[in-house]
Structure 1
């Protein structure tokens, strides 16, 4: 494994991160992701407006955060639903704030970030249900949100990409496109890339085993909506962009999902980011590839938003 000097610098930094006053391993994982994102994401771009809302459901509310791009006040505008990663057990507004701001400005679209329920407190399908319910709410309230109901896409990273893939199998006919960033697609963790990168960088196999165990109840272990590599019906899936990282244990699982989509006839673009590691989108302080990936997703979004 030959890593670039910048990646080695980042990994050295990651080894020094300590979660402040972590109560247990779960709290430590959540705080670690927050600290990593805060320290490595770089300067946050200004956007025109950020709004926090709560979608009311029968038994709970789904928090969402709406990012309106800088210099864009014409309504209705295009919109992108964003589903965050974090092994289904971590992540939220603060971990992905820098990335989402970049995407809002680059795509000139409203970004709607879903703060779905996390495992282990809320195992599958709670988080997926939140994402589907939130997406449906956005569609139903597009006019009041100032967005064009017919110009909506969806993006997810890592675990969020797994959720986005599942959402698209259910209501993907309403999306113009989806983008999946280093997707977590299989709970078996037995691919060649998992063998190569069992102890990292960034992810490790033991952490993955524990995360999937927290997320996936035994009775759901073969559910394609939880495990995207098991999906065999992509009939609702919109044109899809998959971004993969070279030195990522999830690489082969992402390739497998890409192959399955291609074989099912999904309009597909897959890009491998050479030299990159899992989570590189949080490393904009040092990596120019972050902006490259943002630009690629923005180009893909514009291409498909023009298709009426």
Structure 2
């Protein structure tokens, strides 16, 4: 018997019908990478007369050089700008720093911020902690060079989508524990936080939607190898395993009600609240994974996009005395 589950939003369902379904397998990763890389590059990111200029920097982490792209608003700044440091989606097995980056550019445009994106190493060739090391090395570089980059180090926000949200949350935890860069917020979009596959939602959306349970198993196995699902997995690899989420910057979590990651996003927010932190959570009715990027013209997608824009603008422009 098929599991009972929330239905897809009707507008979103029309778009979903046109998207190829099925599990990502280890064998399909190379083709998926090519497809995503063809769809996401610098030229596409700046298409549509985006009011940004692009600059590239290189930092160095434990695994070698790390490329960072910085997008500066074209209008002249008289004071240091706030910044968004972003980690892309793709299950940590595909995608690149330009994947779905139009979204962070929207937030940066609204907030007068610099949008930054990091090229982290992908699994299975580079399993945990390689990708996370790259992300943290890039964040350290941005914070340490904030003055010369024209950035306000007190208004630095991390963000991530899907697996990138897991990386963003892990980077924030590392910054807390290592007394590293000060962060003013973390914008976590449809996060992939749990390798164990035990939640109700991941077992409701087994074969349908844009990210199946099988795709999730492929990704986590690439990241963790034979340790996937076992008790000794490092909590920085799968943030749902964290037991201490105190002392983190305010968080915004966004997820669809009709996707496998719904429950782990809600549980993460509950842990933040239990530790005395602030978390704003939006569970969008009938939304599947990355619905607002894949079906941006749907009414619910427009609302989701505007909610993220509003939160980023508010967070990056709070009076410094409140941070």
Task: Please point out which of 27, 30, 34 is paired with 2:33.
Answer: 30
The Cα shift of 1:107 comes to 2.2
- Between stretches 23-32 and 275-284, larger displacement belongs to 23-32
User: Which residue pairs with 1:98 in the alignment?
Assistant: 102
**Structure 2: runs of 5 or more not aligned:** 1-5
Give me the whole-angstrom Cα distance separating, in 2, the residues matched to 1:9 and 1:34. 25
- 1:170-185 matches, within 5 Å, as 170-172=174-176, 174-185=182-193
Q: Deviations over 1:135-162 (max 9, x none)?
A: 1111110011110111111111111111
Task: Please point out which of 12, 15, 30 is paired with 1:10.
Answer: 15
Give me the whole-angstrom Cα distance separating, in 2, the residues matched to 1:186 and 1:16. 22
* Bigger proportion of residues as helix: 1
CA-based RMSD: 2.7
Tell me if structure 1 keeps the 8 A contact 2:85–2:157: yes
The Cα shift of 1:36 comes to 7.0
C-alpha distance 34-276 of structure 1, shift in aligned 2 (>3 A): farther
C-alpha distance 32-190 of structure 1, shift in aligned 2 (>3 A): farther
**Structure 1: runs of 5 or more not aligned:** 18-22
Tell me if structure 2 keeps the 8 A contact 1:177–1:304: no
**If the length of structure 2 is used for normalisation, what is the TM-score?**
0.84
The Cα shift of 1:281 comes to 3.8
- 1:51-130 matches, within 5 Å, as 51-57=55-61, 60-71=64-75, 73-130=77-134
C-alpha distance 275-219 of structure 1, shift in aligned 2 (>3 A): closer
C-alpha distance 58-180 of structure 1, shift in aligned 2 (>3 A): closer
Q: Deviations over 1:193-219 (max 9, x none)?
A: 112111121011111111100011445
Verify: 1:246 aligned to 2:257, yes or no. yes
C-alpha distance 214-58 of structure 1, shift in aligned 2 (>3 A): closer
C-alpha distance 255-16 of structure 1, shift in aligned 2 (>3 A): closer
Verify: 1:200 aligned to 2:208, yes or no. yes
C-alpha distance 203-217 of structure 1, shift in aligned 2 (>3 A): same
- Between stretches 226-235 and 92-101, larger displacement belongs to 92-101
**If the length of structure 1 is used for normalisation, what is the TM-score?**
0.88
- 1:117-196 matches, within 5 Å, as 117-172=121-176, 174-196=182-204
